[in-house]
Structure 1
Amino acid sequence: MGAALGASIGWDWALLVLLPLAALGVALAHIDFRTRLLPKKLVLPAYPALLVALVVVALLDGSADGLIRAAWGWLIASALYWCLWKFTRGMGYGDVRMSGLLGLALGSLGWSTLLLGLYAGFVVGVVGWVALRLLRLTKDRHFPFGPFMLIGAVVGIVLVAAGWSPIASG
């Protein structure tokens, strides 16, 4: 994951945010796939660490724009996932907790990255759910969604870095 992110965005201060989050993401994806849980003990301490990294990147960049977008990304992703958790009963609260981390990181990179990273998580999740059903690894619509959220975030980062943007500019 780290190599894909580094190759996509190049030598950028954003790697200070993304690389530790990628390492945590791999661990969380493994845990979620095996246990269907995203442990608070790993997710919650990541928030202050991520916030510090975002402030450092804003200071190094000399602009608060990424920090402001990160705050909006946190709000948007958390609200979206909270609504899905509250009203659909198909998602665990660990996914809601982790969505804030993804919203912070994706939002700091830009609106296109936030939009595409969140959306790709759902697309990859549907494809993954079908595969899990066909392989008989799940019997219902409850499955570990965290790994697909993380893969979707990486897909969003890679595609936007490659020049693809769902938001028209100009």
Structure 2
Amino acid sequence: MWAVLGAAVSAVLALGHLLVAVPRLAEPSADEVEGDVLAVKPPYRDLATPRRATVVTALAAACGALSVLAPGWGRGVWWVWAGSVLTLVAVDQATTFLPRRLWYWCLAESVLALAVGAVIGHPPAGLLALPVLAVVTMVPFWLLWRWGGGLGYGDVRLAGGMGLTGGVLGTAGWTTSLLAAALAGALLALGIAALRRIRPSPWGRVFAYGPALWVGPWAALTLNLL
């Protein structure tokens, strides 16, 4: 039952955000980003294509079902990560932007899910450590952003969400999420660099790091099962 519920809620969150929230996002201005980036960025209103909707919904449903492996009190957070945050990451993949407004929606949903889970579930005594883990996770990404490591500040915010979600599995799950995201990011960077040597892209060396951060907690959840 929980697997079916997780799949349904995650799919609805993903599709709802893609169809309703994303087309209404304000476009970045030339004061915020360089003009050549805006020239190749697709508008947010054009992202809700049938193909993207199908892929996002199917992936959200599959991951939402997988969230049954997480502790019962924290499954709501995983549903948000599987659904709402997946749509945010899909926007990043298509545009290299992680819109702040969409992230705030995801954050509010995560906090609400965590609060509900704490009330109706049986959270551990270390529940209050989750915000600390989220902030600690942001620190290395903030340093990379601050010193020109190629990350945007949206990646810093998303890293906090990764820390919160992975932290539901405890410190071991949090650590695995961070390491898995770092490994996925390195492999993604190498793969994209190799591909663009063969097929040059108008994005140049810029690529979306959000998918690597999103994968981190799922790797931790899978390893937690094993």
- Sort the TM-score into its range (normalised by shorter chain): 0.7 to 0.9
Q: What is the aligned partner in structure 1 of residue 77 from structure 2?
A: 17
Match of 1:109, SS state, is coil
Q: What is the aligned partner in structure 2 of residue 7 from structure 1?
A: 66
Q: What is the aligned partner in structure 2 of residue 50 from structure 1?
A: 110
Deviation at 1:94, TM superposition (A): 0.6
Distance (whole Å) between structure 2 residues aligned to residue 124 and residue 95 of structure 1: 14
Number of residue-to-residue matches in the alignment: 161
2:152 is the counterpart of 1:92: yes
Q: What is the aligned partner in structure 2 of residue 158 from structure 1?
A: 222
Q: TM-score, normalised by structure 2?
A: 0.64
Q: What is the aligned partner in structure 2 of residue 168 from structure 1?
A: none
Deviation at 1:109, TM superposition (A): 2.2
Deviation at 1:119, TM superposition (A): 1.2
Match of 1:126, SS state, is helix
Does the C-alpha gap of structure 1 residues 12 and 62 become closer, same or farther in structure 2, counting only changes over 3 Å? closer
Q: Which amino acid aligns with 2:215?
A: I
**Higher alpha-carbon deviation: 145-154 or 79-88:** 79-88
Q: Which amino acid aligns with 2:94?
A: R
Q: Which has the higher contact order (CA 8 A, sep 6+)?
A: 1
Q: What is the aligned partner in structure 2 of residue 110 from structure 1?
A: 170
Q: What is the aligned partner in structure 2 of residue 148 from structure 1?
A: 212
Q: What is the aligned partner in structure 2 of residue 59 from structure 1?
A: 119
Match of 2:72, SS state, is coil
Q: TM-score, normalised by structure 1?
A: 0.83
Q: What is the aligned partner in structure 1 of residue 23 from structure 2?
A: none
Does the C-alpha gap of structure 1 residues 44 and 57 become closer, same or farther in structure 2, counting only changes over 3 Å? same
Percentage of pairs with the same residue: 27
Query: 1:116–1:156: 8 Å Cα contact kept in structure 2?
Result: yes
Distance (whole Å) between structure 2 residues aligned to residue 28 and residue 44 of structure 1: 11
Deviation at 1:11, TM superposition (A): 7.7
Distance (whole Å) between structure 1 residues aligned to residue 126 and residue 94 of structure 2: 34
Query: 1:5–1:157: 8 Å Cα contact kept in structure 2?
Result: no
**Higher alpha-carbon deviation: 110-119 or 62-71:** 62-71
Distance (whole Å) between structure 2 residues aligned to residue 30 and residue 15 of structure 1: 22
- Consecutive unaligned residues of structure 2, counting only runs of 5 or more, are 1-59
- 1:107-137: CA deviation from partner (whole Å, max 9, x where unpaired): 1221111111111111011111111112115
Aligned partner (choices 106, 110, 128) of residue 68 of structure 1: 128
Distance (whole Å) between structure 1 residues aligned to residue 123 and residue 66 of structure 2: 24
What RMSD over aligned residues (CA atoms) do the two structures have, in Å? 2.1
- Consecutive unaligned residues of structure 1, counting only runs of 5 or more, are 163-170
Query: 1:54–1:67: 8 Å Cα contact kept in structure 2?
Result: no
Q: What is the aligned partner in structure 2 of residue 38 from structure 1?
A: 98
Question: Rg larger in 1 or in 2?
Answer: 2
